[in-house]
Chain A
């Protein structure tokens, strides 16, 4: 069962912040975040493991709420280069399948 991402789309001005959420109905072992620019392959952003810490990557960070099986991706002071579609992938306990959400399209304008 695919995780649910929200919102489906976000439009921002440069410098604004955004939050993308990822929610699963299953107990999760890990959450993976990727960004895909138009016409390109997905690129890894970060992984959050059960029991792990909140991760950060430049001005992009993420959290993992194990009790709610939810993860949030935080983009602060957005840049034009942040535009793209963001996917969360979830791995449940006792499985090696990685199931991706349907994506959140983020557009940053000058």
Chain B
């Protein structure tokens, strides 16, 4: 089944404790992206990647890192999480940069 998977789905952590949210797609998509969703603010793009080893900042990249070492994986790293990073995070992938984006199920992160 074609899909985007994210792990974990729920995470509660404390300020400053490094964490990684994994994202993987099995559709051989070139384009991958991370978004955060907060009430009243819609979906905001954090980082995106056009291909392996090619990443670029979205609208809200501060406090986040990403890597794209393999085509299928695009992990999101929070080196020192803070409470303002409490949010619902979505990973998405698309065949091309202008194509339909397939979203993962989301990761609900709470930083206390």
Q: Which residues of A pack against B, CB within 8 Å?
A: 2, 29-30, 32, 34, 40-44, 47, 49, 87, 89, 91, 96-103
Interface residues of B in 55-98 (CB under 8 A from A): 56, 58-59, 90, 97-98
Whether A87 and B43, one on each chain, are in contact in the complex, defined by CB atoms closer than 8 angstroms, is yes
Whether A102 and B48, one on each chain, are in contact in the complex, defined by CB atoms closer than 8 angstroms, is no
Bound Cα distance from A96 to B100, whole angstroms: 14
Whether A96 and B48, one on each chain, are in contact in the complex, defined by CB atoms closer than 8 angstroms, is yes
Whether B45 and A49, one on each chain, are in contact in the complex, defined by CB atoms closer than 8 angstroms, is no
Bound Cα distance from A89 to B94, whole angstroms: 14
Q: Does B12 sit at the interface, judged by CB under 8 A?
A: no
Instruction: Determine which residue in B33, B42, B90, B104 has the highest number of CB atoms from chain A within 10 A of its CB, and name it.
Output: B42
**Contact for A97 among B59, B104, B105, CB less than 8 A:** B59
Residues of B within 8 A of A96 (CB): 48, 50, 56, 97
Contact of A42 with B103 at beta-carbon distance under 8 Å, contacts A87-B43, A96-B48, A96-B97 already known: yes
**Contact for A2 among B42, B97, B99, B103, CB less than 8 A:** B42
Whether B45 and A98, one on each chain, are in contact in the complex, defined by CB atoms closer than 8 angstroms, is yes
Whether B33 and A98, one on each chain, are in contact in the complex, defined by CB atoms closer than 8 angstroms, is yes
**Contact for B100 among A47, A87, A102, CB less than 8 A:** A47
Residues of B within 8 A of A40 (CB): 105
Whether A87 and B50, one on each chain, are in contact in the complex, defined by CB atoms closer than 8 angstroms, is no
Bound Cα distance from A103 to B38, whole angstroms: 11
Contact of A100 with B42 at beta-carbon distance under 8 Å, contacts A41-B104, A42-B90, A42-B103 already known: yes
Which of chain A's residues has its CB closest to B98's CB?
A30
CB distance from A35 to the nearest CB of B (A): 11
Residues of B within 8 A of A103 (CB): 42
| Top 8 closest pairs, chain A to chain B, by CB | A41-B103, A102-B42, A100-B43, A44-B100, A100-B42, A96-B97, A42-B103, A103-B42
